[in-house]
Protein backbone atom coordinates (compact mmCIF):
# COMPACT_ATOMS: atom_id res chain seq x y z
CA UNK A 1 0.00 0.00 0.00
CA UNK A 2 1.13 3.50 -0.80
CA UNK A 3 1.58 4.74 2.77
CA UNK A 4 4.31 5.03 5.37
CA UNK A 5 4.62 4.58 9.11
CA UNK A 6 5.86 8.18 9.32
CA UNK A 7 2.71 9.52 7.56
CA UNK A 8 0.40 7.55 9.86
CA UNK A 9 2.21 8.67 13.03
CA UNK A 10 2.36 12.30 11.99
CA UNK A 11 -1.20 12.70 10.65
CA UNK A 12 -3.03 10.49 13.21
CA UNK A 13 -0.79 9.72 16.21
CA UNK A 14 -1.36 5.99 15.72
CA UNK A 15 1.70 3.82 16.39
CA UNK A 16 0.07 0.42 16.84
CA UNK A 17 -3.35 -1.18 17.07
CA UNK A 18 -4.84 -4.58 17.74
CA UNK A 19 -6.67 -6.84 15.31
CA UNK A 20 -8.89 -9.66 16.57
CA UNK A 21 -7.78 -13.19 15.69
CA UNK A 22 -9.66 -14.88 12.85
CA UNK A 23 -11.73 -16.92 15.29
CA UNK A 24 -12.43 -14.01 17.65
CA UNK A 25 -15.58 -11.90 17.43
CA UNK A 26 -16.95 -8.76 19.03
CA UNK A 27 -18.69 -11.00 21.59
CA UNK A 28 -15.36 -12.53 22.66
CA UNK A 29 -13.83 -9.08 23.18
CA UNK A 30 -16.93 -7.87 25.02
CA UNK A 31 -16.89 -10.90 27.30
CA UNK A 32 -13.22 -10.35 28.26
CA UNK A 33 -13.90 -6.69 29.08
CA UNK A 34 -17.08 -7.54 31.00
CA UNK A 35 -15.30 -10.12 33.14
CA UNK A 36 -12.55 -7.62 34.00
CA UNK A 37 -15.17 -5.02 34.96
CA UNK A 38 -17.05 -7.52 37.16
CA UNK A 39 -13.77 -8.44 38.89
CA UNK A 40 -12.83 -4.78 39.40
CA UNK A 41 -16.26 -4.03 40.90
CA UNK A 42 -16.29 -7.20 43.02
CA UNK A 43 -19.64 -8.27 41.57
CA UNK A 44 -21.17 -11.53 40.38
CA UNK A 45 -22.88 -11.93 37.00
CA UNK A 46 -26.36 -12.02 38.47
CA UNK A 47 -25.84 -8.70 40.22
CA UNK A 48 -26.14 -7.13 36.76
CA UNK A 49 -29.68 -6.07 35.88
CA UNK A 50 -29.01 -4.25 32.59
CA UNK A 51 -26.54 -4.89 29.77
CA UNK A 52 -26.02 -2.25 27.08
CA UNK A 53 -23.43 -2.96 24.39
CA UNK A 54 -22.34 -0.19 22.06
CA UNK A 55 -21.24 -1.77 18.81
CA UNK A 56 -21.42 -1.29 15.06
CA UNK A 57 -19.81 -4.65 14.35
CA UNK A 58 -22.08 -7.24 16.04
CA UNK A 59 -21.59 -11.00 15.67
CA UNK A 60 -25.04 -11.53 14.15
CA UNK A 61 -27.92 -9.48 12.77
CA UNK A 62 -29.67 -10.84 15.85
CA UNK A 63 -29.59 -11.68 18.70
CA UNK A 64 -27.75 -8.62 19.91
CA UNK A 65 -24.23 -8.91 21.29
CA UNK A 66 -25.78 -7.95 24.64
CA UNK A 67 -28.09 -11.00 24.63
CA UNK A 68 -25.28 -13.32 23.54
CA UNK A 69 -23.12 -11.84 26.28
CA UNK A 70 -25.82 -12.27 28.91
CA UNK A 71 -25.79 -16.01 28.17
CA UNK A 72 -21.95 -16.17 28.16
CA UNK A 73 -21.73 -14.43 31.52
CA UNK A 74 -24.43 -16.65 33.03
CA UNK A 75 -26.80 -13.80 33.85
CA UNK A 76 -30.09 -15.66 34.43
CA UNK A 77 -32.22 -12.96 36.07
CA UNK A 78 -34.10 -12.04 32.84
CA UNK A 79 -32.96 -8.43 33.00
CA UNK A 80 -32.88 -6.37 29.78
CA UNK A 81 -29.96 -6.61 27.36
CA UNK A 82 -29.63 -4.74 24.08
CA UNK A 83 -27.16 -3.11 21.70
CA UNK A 84 -26.83 0.58 20.85
CA UNK A 85 -25.44 1.57 17.46
CA UNK A 86 -23.94 5.06 17.28
CA UNK A 87 -20.53 4.13 15.84
CA UNK A 88 -17.70 6.10 17.50
CA UNK A 89 -20.16 7.97 19.75
CA UNK A 90 -21.60 4.60 20.80
CA UNK A 91 -20.10 4.51 24.26
CA UNK A 92 -21.43 7.98 25.12
CA UNK A 93 -24.86 6.86 23.89
CA UNK A 94 -24.78 3.55 25.82
CA UNK A 95 -23.59 5.24 28.99
CA UNK A 96 -26.36 7.82 28.70
CA UNK A 97 -29.01 5.13 28.17
CA UNK A 98 -27.81 3.13 31.19
CA UNK A 99 -27.58 6.26 33.33
CA UNK A 100 -31.16 7.13 32.46
CA UNK A 101 -32.37 3.60 33.26
CA UNK A 102 -30.77 3.97 36.68
CA UNK A 103 -32.11 7.49 37.24
CA UNK A 104 -35.61 6.27 36.34
CA UNK A 105 -35.34 3.45 38.88
CA UNK A 106 -35.57 0.74 36.20
CA UNK A 107 -32.09 -0.67 36.89
CA UNK A 108 -29.65 -0.70 39.77
CA UNK A 109 -26.49 -2.25 38.32
CA UNK A 110 -25.72 -1.73 34.64
CA UNK A 111 -22.94 -3.27 32.58
CA UNK A 112 -22.03 -0.86 29.75
CA UNK A 113 -19.63 -2.03 27.09
CA UNK A 114 -18.09 -0.63 23.93
CA UNK A 115 -16.90 -3.49 21.73
CA UNK A 116 -15.84 -3.55 18.10
CA UNK A 117 -14.13 -5.61 15.43
CA UNK A 118 -13.83 -2.70 13.00
CA UNK A 119 -11.10 -4.59 11.13
CA UNK A 120 -13.93 -6.67 9.62
CA UNK A 121 -15.52 -3.67 7.88
CA UNK A 122 -12.31 -2.14 6.52
CA UNK A 123 -11.30 -2.17 2.89
CA UNK A 124 -7.64 -3.12 3.30
CA UNK A 125 -6.86 -1.51 -0.04
CA UNK A 126 -8.20 1.93 0.96
CA UNK A 127 -5.39 3.89 2.61
CA UNK A 128 -7.84 6.62 3.64
CA UNK A 129 -9.48 4.31 6.16
CA UNK A 130 -7.60 1.06 6.70
CA UNK A 131 -4.70 2.64 8.57
CA UNK A 132 -6.96 4.21 11.19
CA UNK A 133 -9.09 1.60 12.92
CA UNK A 134 -8.49 -1.28 15.32
CA UNK A 135 -10.39 -3.85 17.38
CA UNK A 136 -11.06 -3.81 21.10
CA UNK A 137 -13.53 -3.67 23.96
CA UNK A 138 -13.87 -1.80 27.23
CA UNK A 139 -16.50 -2.02 29.96
CA UNK A 140 -17.79 -0.12 32.96
CA UNK A 141 -20.35 -0.94 35.63
CA UNK A 142 -22.73 1.73 36.89
CA UNK A 143 -24.47 1.28 40.22
CA UNK A 144 -27.39 3.24 41.65
CA UNK A 145 -26.15 5.45 44.48
CA UNK A 146 -26.91 8.67 46.30
CA UNK A 147 -23.30 9.73 45.74
CA UNK A 148 -22.56 11.79 42.60
CA UNK A 149 -21.41 9.70 39.63
CA UNK A 150 -22.61 10.41 36.10
CA UNK A 151 -23.35 14.14 36.50
CA UNK A 152 -24.78 14.67 33.01
CA UNK A 153 -24.78 13.21 29.52
CA UNK A 154 -25.32 15.06 26.25
CA UNK A 155 -26.19 13.31 22.99
CA UNK A 156 -26.53 14.71 19.49
CA UNK A 157 -26.97 13.51 15.92
CA UNK A 158 -27.21 15.08 12.48
CA UNK A 159 -28.20 12.64 9.76
CA UNK A 160 -27.57 15.15 6.97
CA UNK A 161 -23.91 14.15 7.06
CA UNK A 162 -24.51 10.40 6.72
CA UNK A 163 -22.50 10.04 3.52
CA UNK A 164 -19.28 11.54 4.84
CA UNK A 165 -18.58 8.47 6.96
CA UNK A 166 -20.49 5.26 6.34
CA UNK A 167 -20.70 1.65 5.26
CA UNK A 168 -23.17 2.36 2.48
CA UNK A 169 -24.99 -0.98 2.42
CA UNK A 170 -26.31 -3.51 4.85
CA UNK A 171 -29.02 -6.02 5.58
CA UNK A 172 -31.96 -4.20 4.05
CA UNK A 173 -30.21 -2.62 1.07
CA UNK A 174 -28.22 -5.78 0.48
CA UNK A 175 -24.55 -6.02 -0.28
CA UNK A 176 -23.35 -5.46 -3.82
CA UNK A 177 -21.19 -8.51 -4.39
CA UNK A 178 -19.61 -6.95 -7.46
CA UNK A 179 -18.63 -3.75 -5.70
CA UNK A 180 -17.19 -5.27 -2.54
CA UNK A 181 -16.23 -1.86 -1.20
CA UNK A 182 -19.92 -1.28 -0.52
CA UNK A 183 -19.57 -3.49 2.56
CA UNK A 184 -16.73 -1.45 4.01
CA UNK A 185 -16.12 1.88 5.69
CA UNK A 186 -15.94 4.85 3.35
CA UNK A 187 -14.88 8.23 4.63
CA UNK A 188 -14.21 11.76 3.46
CA UNK A 189 -11.53 12.19 6.12
CA UNK A 190 -10.86 15.88 5.80
CA UNK A 191 -14.52 16.89 6.12
CA UNK A 192 -15.06 14.45 8.98
CA UNK A 193 -12.02 15.89 10.71
CA UNK A 194 -13.30 19.48 10.54
CA UNK A 195 -16.79 18.54 11.71
CA UNK A 196 -15.45 16.38 14.56
CA UNK A 197 -13.34 19.26 15.87
CA UNK A 198 -16.28 21.69 15.69
CA UNK A 199 -18.92 19.43 17.25
CA UNK A 200 -16.64 18.17 20.03
CA UNK A 201 -15.75 21.75 20.95
CA UNK A 202 -19.47 22.61 21.07
CA UNK A 203 -20.37 19.63 23.23
CA UNK A 204 -17.64 20.26 25.81
CA UNK A 205 -18.79 23.89 26.11
CA UNK A 206 -22.40 22.67 26.48
CA UNK A 207 -21.37 20.14 29.16
CA UNK A 208 -19.55 22.77 31.21
CA UNK A 209 -22.42 25.26 30.91
CA UNK A 210 -25.13 22.78 31.96
CA UNK A 211 -23.07 21.85 35.04
CA UNK A 212 -22.11 25.45 35.79
CA UNK A 213 -18.47 24.42 35.77
CA UNK A 214 -15.32 26.28 34.79
CA UNK A 215 -12.86 24.60 32.42
CA UNK A 216 -10.32 24.48 35.22
CA UNK A 217 -12.58 22.20 37.29
CA UNK A 218 -12.20 19.26 34.89
CA UNK A 219 -9.50 16.89 36.12
CA UNK A 220 -9.30 14.64 33.05
CA UNK A 221 -10.41 14.68 29.46
CA UNK A 222 -11.10 11.11 28.29
CA UNK A 223 -11.79 11.56 24.58
CA UNK A 224 -12.70 9.21 21.77
CA UNK A 225 -9.37 8.19 20.25
CA UNK A 226 -9.67 8.91 16.53
CA UNK A 227 -6.78 11.21 15.80
CA UNK A 228 -4.32 12.96 18.12
CA UNK A 229 -4.91 16.24 16.28
CA UNK A 230 -8.68 16.11 16.99
CA UNK A 231 -7.94 15.30 20.65
CA UNK A 232 -5.46 18.16 20.93
CA UNK A 233 -7.96 20.63 19.42
CA UNK A 234 -10.58 19.71 22.05
CA UNK A 235 -7.99 19.99 24.84
CA UNK A 236 -7.04 23.43 23.56
CA UNK A 237 -10.67 24.55 23.69
CA UNK A 238 -10.67 23.52 27.36
CA UNK A 239 -7.30 25.25 27.98
CA UNK A 240 -6.15 21.87 29.16
CA UNK A 241 -2.53 20.73 29.00
CA UNK A 242 -2.05 17.39 27.27
CA UNK A 243 -0.87 15.96 30.60
CA UNK A 244 -4.54 16.08 31.68
CA UNK A 245 -5.76 14.25 28.58
CA UNK A 246 -5.89 10.47 28.48
CA UNK A 247 -4.34 9.47 25.16
CA UNK A 248 -4.30 5.86 23.96
CA UNK A 249 -4.65 6.45 20.22
CA UNK A 250 -0.96 5.52 19.79
CA UNK A 251 -1.65 2.08 21.32
CA UNK A 252 -5.09 1.26 19.95
CA UNK A 253 -5.86 3.37 16.89
CA UNK A 254 -9.53 4.18 16.50
CA UNK A 255 -11.53 1.36 18.11
CA UNK A 256 -14.84 3.19 17.61
CA UNK A 257 -17.23 2.52 20.54
CA UNK A 258 -14.46 0.79 22.49
CA UNK A 259 -12.06 3.70 22.54
CA UNK A 260 -13.43 5.75 25.47
CA UNK A 261 -13.76 2.81 27.90
CA UNK A 262 -10.32 1.51 26.84
CA UNK A 263 -8.81 4.93 27.59
CA UNK A 264 -10.70 5.18 30.88
CA UNK A 265 -9.56 1.71 31.92
CA UNK A 266 -5.94 2.52 31.07
CA UNK A 267 -5.88 5.68 33.20
CA UNK A 268 -7.78 4.13 36.13
CA UNK A 269 -5.53 1.08 36.25
CA UNK A 270 -2.27 3.06 35.97
CA UNK A 271 -3.42 5.28 38.86
CA UNK A 272 -3.79 8.57 37.01
CA UNK A 273 -7.55 8.85 37.52
CA UNK A 274 -8.52 8.84 41.19
CA UNK A 275 -11.83 8.56 43.02
CA UNK A 276 -13.72 11.83 43.24
CA UNK A 277 -12.09 13.39 40.19
CA UNK A 278 -14.15 14.98 37.43
CA UNK A 279 -13.86 13.38 34.02
CA UNK A 280 -15.14 14.71 30.74
CA UNK A 281 -15.76 11.95 28.20
CA UNK A 282 -16.57 12.83 24.58
CA UNK A 283 -16.98 11.06 21.27
CA UNK A 284 -17.87 11.71 17.64
CA UNK A 285 -18.79 9.25 14.91
CA UNK A 286 -20.68 8.33 11.77
CA UNK A 287 -24.24 9.51 11.49
CA UNK A 288 -23.02 12.02 12.46
CA UNK A 289 -23.43 11.24 16.13
CA UNK A 290 -21.64 12.88 19.01
CA UNK A 291 -21.93 13.14 22.75
CA UNK A 292 -20.31 13.65 26.10
CA UNK A 293 -20.56 12.60 29.72
CA UNK A 294 -19.40 14.45 32.81
CA UNK A 295 -18.49 11.99 35.55
CA UNK A 296 -17.39 12.26 39.12
CA UNK A 297 -15.44 9.04 39.27
Q: Does 127 bind ligand COA (CB under 6 A)?
A: yes
Per-residue binding letters, 15-54, with ligand COA (x by CB under 6 A):
----------------------------------------
Which of 100-108, 140-148, 189-197, 269-277 is the region at the interface with ligand COA (rule: CB under 6 A)? Answer: 189-197
Q: Which of 32, 193, 211, 297 binds ligand COA (CB under 6 A)?
A: 193
User: DSSP 3-state assignment of 174?
Assistant: strand
Q: H-type helices in the chain, by residue range?
A: 5-12, 26-41, 65-73, 90-103, 189-210, 228-237, 249-252, 259-269
Of the pair 50, 192, the CB lying nearest ligand COA is at 192
Residues 6+ apart with CB under 8 A from 64: 53, 58, 81, 82, 83
Per rule CB under 6 A, is residue 226 in the interface with ligand COA? Answer: yes
For residue 215, give every residue at least 6 positions away whose Cβ sits within 8 Å of its Cβ, in sequence order, or none: 208, 238, 239, 240
The residue among 184 and 284 lying less far from ligand COA, judged by its C-beta, is 284
Instruction: Sketch the per residue contact string, 227 through 266, with ligand COA: x for CB under 6 A, - otherwise.
Output: x--------------------------x------------
Q: Is 250 one of the catalytic residues? A: no
Choose the stretch contacting ligand COA; rule: CB under 6 A; options: 4-12, 110-118, 153-161, 202-210: 4-12
Of 101-109, 123-131, 135-143, 174-182, which part binds ligand COA (CB under 6 A)? 123-131
Nearer to ligand COA, 34 or 197 (CB): 197
Nearest residue to 112 via CA among 257, 219, 222, 226: 257
Catalytic residue, chosen from 154, 227, 252, 254, is 254
| Residue among 238, 202, 224, 203 nearest 286 (CA) | 224
224 a catalytic residue:
yes
Considering the rule CB under 6 A, would residue 12 count as an interface residue with ligand COA? yes
Helix, strand, coil fractions of the chain, as percent rounded to 5 = 40, 20, 35
Closest CA to 258 of 16, 18, 1: 18
The residue among 257, 46, 36, 273 whose CA lies nearest residue 133 is 257
Residue 88: active-site member: yes
Binding site for ligand COA (CB under 6 A): 3, 7, 11-12, 88, 127-128, 131, 187, 189-190, 192-193, 196, 226-227, 254, 284-285
Catalytic (active-site) positions: 88, 224, 254
Amino acid sequence: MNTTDAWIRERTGIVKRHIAADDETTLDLAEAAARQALDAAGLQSNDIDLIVVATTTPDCVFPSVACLLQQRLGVTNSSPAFDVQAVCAGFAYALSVADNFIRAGSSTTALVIGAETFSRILNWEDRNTCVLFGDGAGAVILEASNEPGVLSTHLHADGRYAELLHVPNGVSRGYDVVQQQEAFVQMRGNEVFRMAVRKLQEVVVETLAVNNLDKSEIDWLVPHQANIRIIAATAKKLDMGMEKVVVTVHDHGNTSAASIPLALDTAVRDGRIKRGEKLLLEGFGGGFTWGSALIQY
